[in-house]
Amino acid sequence: MRTDTSSGALPARAPLALVPGEPVLDVVIPVFNEEKDLGPCVRRLHEHLSRTFPYPFRITVADNASTDRTPEVARGLAAALDGVRSTRLEAKGRGRALRRVWSGSDAPVLAYMDVDLSTDLNALLPLVAPLISGHSDLAIGTRLARSSRVVRGAKREFISRAYNLLLRSSLSARFSDAQCGFKAIRREVAERLLPLVEDTGWFFDTELLVLAERAGLRIHEVPVDWVDDPDSTVHIVRTAAEDLKGVWRVGRALAVGALPLDRLARPFGDDPRDRAALPGVEGGLARQLLGFCAVGTLSTVLYLVLYSAFRAGTGPQFANGAALLLSAFANTAANRRLTFGVRGRDRAVRHQAQGLVVFAIGLALTSGSLAALGAATAEPAHSTELAVLITANLAATVLRFLLFRAWIFPERRDTPVNVKDDNR
């Protein structure tokens, strides 16, 4: 991973020192082949900011190597509207566009939103106000708060909630909505945080938020009204696979301490989960959880790849069973060596046999989920099958860790228990 070259921790948060005439907010709109929607989006956003935002602003269109008339439309908007500019990148990737524009911006508050303007713009001022006042370091819109009003299909709703559940279970994330295209960050935070973020695509948001949270930075959440774009070109399965790779990479880096998060810490902003010891928590538990989550993430990727390969030539139940069986052997072997530190071949066969019992539980959960899906829908989409299987595997994962820790790889106590001396 890249590391930040700056030294020293971030100073205490303070209200922004506003400079008259200079933009306070720079809103980035990453686009790829959006010649139809770009003009109405930018004009509507520009009108809204001119009418409601009390400070100077800028709108930056970041073109990700579009092959249609998007660059021409962007240049026309920049020429016609005050405070609008455009920039061109010769490679795709939302994260790449945000990194480029945010790194070169002089505005103290940096934000971005999707070109479809799915989010109600009335949430923009509440999003950036805590950053201007000095209350928070980052701000995100959330579609999963109780007060949010969301219009979107059941499949996208299920996938969104399953993804955020995965982040909570694997990376201990506490923010509620990682992928809502409506976020803001203070510039001095971005200067320290962006060099640590590797992803250049859709996982960029998640990686940014996880590292910020682990460093103890304050993330403000704003409930939003959201209407899903039915013409969205996001490839769900491919994006999910890339996100799982990102979860594995970030989890591994956090587990081995490869990230200099101390350079992001605010005074009194440390995260108590990252302290050396917590009262009442066993020292080895945190390490085992991190190892188990890392192995589990990689095993899930292997399982989905195998399932997709088997599914091409057979039914869902057989594909599920075969993929789960093969990934179960790999999962048990990896957890034996990496998570619980068992060396050598002693009891290896027994451990694999016990792992098969755990495999049977996972098979029952996933097969039952597929059966329920088949009863509800005659011909479910492949992406829906994968989403259901991911959720079922998450449920089985919790039980798997408990069985691994308490039954298959119980902790050995090599030191004798202290006996109270009654002859005092």
What is the chain's alpha carbon radius of gyration, rounded to the nearest angstrom? 24
Question: Which tokens in the block code for residue 317?
Answer: 């139940």
Distance CA 2, CA 158 (A): 34
**Residue with tokens 């790779």, as numbered in its chain:** 245
Is 228 one of the annotated active-site residues of the chain?
A: no
CB atoms within 10 A of CB 374: 15
Please report how the helices 154-171 and 204-214 are oriented relative to each other, as an axis angle in degrees rounded to 10: 40
Short-list 24, 222, 219, 18, CA closest to 137: 219
Which positions ≥6 away from 177 have C-beta within 8 Å?
140, 141, 142, 143, 144, 160, 164, 221
In the DSSP assignment, the letter for residue 196 is: G
DSSP H/E element including 81: none
Q: Please identify which residue in the block is written with the tokens 């088949």.
A: 374
Query: Of the residues 63, 137, 205, 243, which is catalytic?
Result: 205
Find the Cα–Cα–Cα–Cα dihedral 114, 118, 119, 124, rounded to 10°: 40
- 3-class DSSP assignment, residue 272: helix
Residue type, 251: G
Q: Which residues contact 127 (CB under 8 A, 6 or more apart)?
A: 111, 139, 140, 141, 182, 183, 184, 220, 222
Residues annotated as part of the active site? 205
